[in-house]
Structure 1
Amino acid sequence: MKPLRLALVLSLLCSAPVFAQGAAPAGKPASAPAAAARAYPAWEQLSAAERDMLVAPVRERWNDSPEQRERMMEHARRWQTMTPEERQRMHRGVKRWGHMSPEQRAQARALFGEMRKMSPEDRQKLRAQWKTMTPEERQAWLKSHPAPAR
């Protein structure tokens, strides 16, 4: 059950910004300094109601999407093997992805799909090449290297 609990908490952190900022009383938005100053207890010190509040959205997603369960479980397993630095990098990536436009996401999918087939040296070359391309050259590259089907 531990991987599932971790998957639940991970997906909550990634998909529910209100939990990452700290929950404010109903009807009152949390101010950044107040939310940052509040110290939250360890999981074991949360009440049953608080735990259920945190887990309920993931429980719903788990029950509503049986086809996604394997992916959710794999994410939980990967999360357990990550170092704190890797987890921090993952959080930054999720945040960055959330701020991308649909076009930027399509570009990222195409680049990632191509880069995962490459050696580290070739990835480095493509990154350097991408930075020097004009928008027209990037569009041509994207047409010749479409994003993998999801």
Structure 2
Amino acid sequence: MHKMILPTLLSLALLAPGIAAAQSATPSLPAWDQLTPQQREQLTAPVRERWNNSTPERRQHMLDHAARWEAMTPEERTRARQGHKRWSDMPPERREHARALYQHMRNLPEAERKAMVDRWKAMTPEQRRAWVEANPATNP
């Protein structure tokens, strides 16, 4: 009997994060005002630590990001989450390419941007690598 307790406890420990994630998606969780002080601390501590360890410029960026997020519609937030996931799942080389291409195109007029996208799509992987080497992102 005792031989089964340890594997069972280990299994439960491994499943706990998944269960917690599933529970967090349920509407039965309390509103912020109903959370205990410990629960609130658990939620806010990582942000506080990141804030305290940040430069003034980074803090301003965090505030600006929060304001933009607050102004988004639910659909825009969903698209933003999907874009973040797509970026996180992207291989490092593709991220480097995306950064370089974005920096190059961000201030181009619409017609030139479209032409650059068309050229990019027509390039081979080797041509893209060469283009990125010739046009590196300045602030990865």
| Percentage of identical aligned residues | 48
Distance in 1 between residues matched to 2:54 and 2:13, nearest whole Å: 29
Match in the other structure for 1:47:
36
Q: Deviations over 1:66-87 (max 9, x none)?
A: 3421211111122122222222
- What whole-Å deviation, never above 9, does each CA across 1:95-150 have from its counterpart, x for those lacking one? 11211222122111101111211223332332232222101211222122211225
Gap change, CA 1:126 and 1:46, over 3 Å in 2: farther
Q: Which has the higher contact order (CA 8 A, sep 6+)?
A: 1
Q: TM-score, normalised by structure 1?
A: 0.70
User: Superposed, which structure 2 residues align to 1:74-89 within 5 Å?
Assistant: 74-89=64-79
With over 3 angstroms needed to count, the CA separation of the structure-2 counterparts of 1:131 and 1:53, relative to structure 1, is: same
Structure showing greater radius of gyration is 2
Q: Which runs of 5+ in 1 are unaligned?
A: 1-24
Q: 1:36 to 1:60 in 2, by over 3 A?
A: closer
1:31 Cα deviation after fit: 4.7
Amino acid of the structure 1 residue aligned with 2:40? R
User: Which residue of 2 is the match for residue 64 of structure 1?
Assistant: 53
Cross-structure match for 1:14? none
Report which stretch shifted further, 25-34 or 108-117: 25-34
Distance in 2, matches of 1:122 and 1:113, equals: 14
RMSD between aligned residues: 2.6
Q: 1:37 to 1:63 in 2, by over 3 A?
A: closer
Which amino acid in the other structure matches residue 50 of structure 1?
Q
Please give the alpha-carbon distance, in whole angstroms, between the structure 2 residues aligned to 1:79 and 1:31. Answer: 27
Residue 30 in 1 paired to residue 18 in 2? yes
The one-letter code of the counterpart of 1:83 is T
CA apart distance, 1:57 = 0.3
Shift of 1:34: 4.1
Q: Quick check: 1:100 aligned with 2:90?
A: yes
Q: 1:145: which partner in 2?
A: 135
Rounded to whole Å, the distance in 2 between the matches of 1:130 and 1:64 is: 39
Deviations 1:34-83 (A, max 9, x none): 44763233333322222211111010011112342121111112212222
**Normalising to structure 2: TM-score of the pair?**
0.74
Match of 2:7 in 1: none
Residue ranges of structure 2 left out of the alignment (5+ in a row): 1-11
Runs of 4+ aligned residues of structure 1 deviating over 3 Å after TM superposition are 31-37
